[in-house]
Structure 1
C-alpha cells in the first residue's frame, strides 16, 4: 500500500511554488487540472477548487464544501531524515511561510514545527520518531 494525498487549491501556480520551492517537491506531471509532485516517498496531488462542482448530492468534494476551512481536522505530517535537515527547512520556512508553531522539542521526544500552506492546509515537519524509526 502507498499513500498519495490530494489537495484542492485556489491557485495552482502558488501552491506548486510553495511545495516545490519551499519544501523541495519535484513536479512529476502538470496539466490544466492537476499536478503531481513528489518528495522522496511522498506523492502530493494538487487540483483546482474551481474545477469542482458547485454543489452535489452525497459527501463528495464541492466548491461549497471547501469554502470553509479546507484543512479542518487534518494534519499532514512530513518526516525528514534528521534534525539538521529539519532545522534547514525551518530557517527557510520562517521567511517564506506562515509558521503556526515554532521548532521545538515536544514532550514525546520529537522536534517539529507546524505551518500552513497558501490554502490553509496544516503541515507538521518533524524528523522521524523518538527512537529514530519511521512510524
Structure 2
C-alpha cells in the first residue's frame, strides 16, 4: 500500500466560527466547501502544503474536549519559522496562546485551542537553522 497524503478531518460545532478562527488566527484559506440550506457543513482549508478538513456533523459537542488538559488527546502540530514571534502575534491579537517553552527535543513550542477545543501546537527548531532542518529530525 502506498500512502501519499494525510488530511485530518475534525468535527466542529459551528463551521463559520471555525473558519473564522483558522483564517484569521493562522492564515488558512478555504479551498473548497459544501453548504446545506445556506450553512457550511464541510470545508477543505489550506495553508501552503498543509490541508485540514472541517466538518459539521448533525450533532457535535466539544465541551469534553475543551476541558481536557494539554496533550490530553490528539494534537495538531505545526512548525513555524519563529515560535516566539508567532506566540507574540497571537497574544497581541487576543488568541491566548499557552506559555512558550523550550523542549528537550530541540524545539520552542506553545499550544493554542481552537473554538472546539482542539489543541494546536506551534513549534520552531532551536539552534542554528542552517545546521538543523525538519529532515534532520526524521533521522533522530
Please indicate, yes or no, whether the TM-score normalized by the shorter chain is above 0.5: yes
Matched, 1:102 2:103: no
- Structure 2 CA distance for aligned equivalents of residues 17 and 128 of structure 1: 28
SS of the residue corresponding to residue 68 of structure 1 reads: helix
Distance across 1 between alignment mates of 2:33 and 2:113: 23
Q: TM-score, normalised by structure 2?
A: 0.72
What TM-score, normalized to structure 1?
A: 0.75
The 1:3–1:128 alpha-carbon spacing in structure 2 relative to 1, beyond 3 Å, is farther
Q: For 2:89 and 2:23, how far apart are their aligned partners in 1? A: 13
Partner secondary structure for residue 29 of structure 1? strand
- 1:2-50 deviation per Cα after TM superposition (whole angstroms, max 9, x unaligned): 110111111111100111111011110122221110012111111113x
* Contact 1:6-1:44 within 8 A present in 2 as well: yes
CA RMSD of aligned residues (A): 2.4
The farther-off stretch of 89-98 and 33-42 is: 89-98
Aligned residues: 119
Alpha-carbon distance in 1 for matches of 2:126, 2:75: 16
Alpha-carbon contact 1:97-1:117 (below 8 Å) kept: no
For the residue of structure 2 that corresponds to 1:111, the secondary structure is strand
1:23 is matched with which residue: 9, 23, 26?
A: 26
Moved over 4 A (4+): none
